[in-house]
Structure formats: structure tokens, C-alpha cells
Amino acid sequence: MSGDERILIAGGGPVGVVTALALAQRGFPVTVFESEPDISDAPRAATTHPATLELLADLGLIDDVIRLGLTARKFQFRDRPSGALVAEFDHETLRQDTRFPLVVQCEQHKLARLALDRLRALPDAEVHFSARVAAVDAHAGNVGVTVETPGGRKKFRGAFLVGADGGRSTVRKSVGIQFEGYTFPERFVVLTTRFDFEAERGYCYRNYFSDPDEWANLFKVAGDDGRGQWRVVFPTRREESDDEALSDAGVQGRLQRFFPKPKPYEVVHRNLYKAHQRVAATFRKGRVLLAGDAAHVNNPIGGLGLNCGIHDGVELAERLARFRDGQGGEEELDLYDRRRRPLNIEFVQSQTVNNKKRLEEKDPAVRAANFEQLRATAADPARHRQFLLRTSLIESVRKAALIV
């Protein structure tokens, strides 16, 4: 790399700041542009899998992530109509495979803030809020961005640009990379309540409910005050309007059908999300690299999207460092795309699509067969471990090393 080695990063979401931290720790000067005035605390990712915990440990974030999150060793599949437990999986089975045989439920805004604090303590790391990357000007030798700020439009230049600006990525669109895939017709409602599903119903911190009429996911997170909150995720009905889904009647109706109780639920947040399965046609175009949701989006069942984005960011920092240090040429940068894109398709797209199909299956015979398969997998120690190696992304990390 010649001249200024600065890496520009569009997007101060969790992937943007973790990528910036990974780069800054390798000695790169970095500049992050975030369009919003602060880190968003919308309730999205929390589930952080073993392979990702290992990366966060290498970045020096693991103790804080565990401290601010909740440890969830097990997860359960249930049949919602009967309430029956179908299968339980225990990460302890992975003790020989990982330093972290557990999942940590740590909300993504906490992770982003932790990474941001670490980043700010490093030399030559700049972070601009209320700074929207509006245009990209990529050349063979460097890349420029035009950024909209409260003080007007400003131009910045760097050696590379990382597009970590989310599913609607301006960077991806600016360089003409297609976002192939589809959007689900239904939306996903996320309701957050303080009702204690562990005390009242014996549920663990991660639960997946199969139901031909309305599947559900239920998770516990610590919340900002550490008192604990439960998030329930449901699909909307196709004909249901957004207003209806978010109305008091809609929200209470859903929660009461899920678990009836005499008093109304105390609902802390109500949010609605569109869900997609899309992958960018390439993760690299010249000096522009895509990471996180800018490169791939998926439905949240299985909690894989952000995890995969963190793996992108760490891989990208390694490839750029090798390129800078003369340990490889352009092929180092191409390797980023050759590894991350197929791994996203094989491990994240396929698992999340299958997870959704399994939960929403309507055919009674297929449902019964799915349940039997889950039971048999959980009951057999070798299959139990194999299943978790995949869900925890450990298998994807092992496979990455084989793509050279």
C-alpha cells in the first residue's frame, strides 16, 4: 500500500465499529461515518455464538460482552400448539471444540458501544456521527467519499472503503453491486416484555416454537438496566397492516395467545421488521469491500446475521493487513470475497431458510418428521455435537481455512 493507509468505513453499526477496531488494532488509521447521531438501540441482534465469542476474545471484548449479556448454555425447540418440549441442545457438548461452549445474549448496541469505546482509545481512529456517506468515487489507487454532515458536504479520501452501512447500503448501490435474493411478504414483530417466562413457565433463555399458524421465538436479554427482558418474535399475517400489528390490541392479542394471563402484558418495546434473504453479487469491487448486512441479509431465526458480519470484519482486517505488509497482492483481497460469500450462503442463508421452514411447516406429517429428526439429533451425542458445530459457526470457521 502506498501513501495514506487510511481505511474509510461507512456505517457505525456493530459490524462497522468492530471492523474498525480490528483494523485499528492492526495499526491502520480508520475513519468511521455513521449517518445517525448515535448508535441505534433498536432491539435486533443479541445471540452471540461460540465462534464469534472467540473473535471477540481476540479483540479484547469478551469479558465486557459476558458481563453485559446473559449466558445461555442451552436452547430448546418446542411444539407451540401442545407446548411440548421437542428437543434441547446443550453447548457444553462443544467443550473440546471451543474456548466458549456457550451463547451470550448481548444486545448489539452494547457490543457496538464497547467496540466504539475501545476504538476511540486508539491513535488515529476517527468516528463521525450525523455523517452520511452519500457518494463514492473509487479509483485504481484510492477511494473517495462525499459525506453529508450538519456542517455541509465534505470529501474524504482513503486507501480502501468498507461498506458496513446495512441492508440498504449506499456504498453497495454506488458501486453497482446487485443484491440478489428475495424479501418475505410477512413482517416480523418483536415484542419486549418484563414478564418472566422462566419463573412462570420454566423456559430457558433461547426458545424456538414451531406452529403451523404462528411460529414464535422467545429470548431473554439483560436489558440496559440488567433486570432482564424477554423478546418474543412472531410473523405478521399477510393481510395484516403495520398499524394493526403494532396496536395495543394486536400486541396484547399476540402475547395472550402465546401465553394467556389474567392481566395485560407490560410491553417495553414493539418493533416491526422486514426480513430478506439476499447476498451481494460480490463482496469486493476494486477498493470497495462490503461487510455485514451491506453484504448479506437473512431472517433472524437462528441469530446468525450479525455473527456472520463480525466474521466478515475480522477476515477483512486480516486480508488488508497482509496486503499492506506485502504478504500477498490483489489475491489477498479477492480471497475475502471467495471466502466470505460462499460461507454466508452455505452456513447463514441455508440455515436461516431451513429454520424458518421448520418452524412454519403446515403439513402434519412433515412436522412430525422434523420433530423426530430433532429428537434423534439431540439424543445422539455425535449428531448433537455436529448440529451445534454448524449452528455455532465453528464449522464455517474451519471451512474458511480450507478456502485458499
Ligand X SMILES: Cc1cc2nc3c(=O)[nH]c(=O)nc-3n(C[C@H](O)[C@H](O)[C@H](O)COP(=O)(O)OP(=O)(O)OC[C@H]3O[C@@H](n4cnc5c(N)ncnc54)[C@H](O)[C@@H]3O)c2cc1C
Strand partners, 235: 188
Which one-letter DSSP state was computed for residue 268? Answer: E
Q: Establish if 13 lies at the interface with ligand X (CB under 6 A).
A: yes
Which residue's beta carbon is nearest to the bound ligand X?
A: 13
Q: Establish if 146 lies at the interface with ligand X (CB under 6 A).
A: no
Closest to ligand X by CB, 34 vs 64, is 34
* Interface mask toward ligand X for 189-218; x: CB under 6 A: -x----------------------------
Decide: 7 and 22 in contact? Cβ < 8 Å. no
When binding is defined by CB under 6 A, the residue of 36, 244, 248, 331 that contacts ligand X is 36
When binding is defined by CB under 6 A, the residue of 22, 30, 45, 161 that contacts ligand X is 45
Q: Establish if 132 lies at the interface with ligand X (CB under 6 A).
A: yes
Q: In angstroms, rounded to a whole number, what is the distance separating the alpha carbons of residues 149 and 380?
A: 57
- Which helix H or strand E contains 364, and what residues bound it? helix 364-379
Q: Establish if 293 lies at the interface with ligand X (CB under 6 A).
A: yes
Strand partners, 75: 89
When binding is defined by CB under 6 A, the residue of 6, 24, 30, 33 that contacts ligand X is 33
Task: Say what angle helices 305-324 and 50-58 make with each other, to 10 degrees.
Answer: 40
Q: Establish if 133 lies at the interface with ligand X (CB under 6 A).
A: yes
Pairing of strands 206-210, 74-79: parallel
* Interface mask toward ligand X for 247-276; x: CB under 6 A: --------------------------x---
Sign of the C-alpha dihedral computed for residues 298, 302, 303 and 309 taken in this order? negative
Q: In angstroms, rounded to a whole number, what is the distance separating the alpha carbons of residues 149 and 133?
A: 9
- Count, residues near ligand X per rule CB under 6 A: 35
Decide: 156 and 9 in contact? Cβ < 8 Å. no
* Interface mask toward ligand X for 299-318; x: CB under 6 A: -x--xxxxx-x---------
Q: Establish if 349 lies at the interface with ligand X (CB under 6 A).
A: no
Cα Rg of the chain, angstroms: 21
Could you give the angle at the alpha carbon of 236 between the alpha carbons of 256 and 84, nearest 5°? Answer: 50
Sites of contact with ligand X (CB under 6 A): 10-16, 33-36, 40, 44-47, 108, 132-133, 164-166, 170, 188, 190, 273, 292-293, 300, 303-307, 309
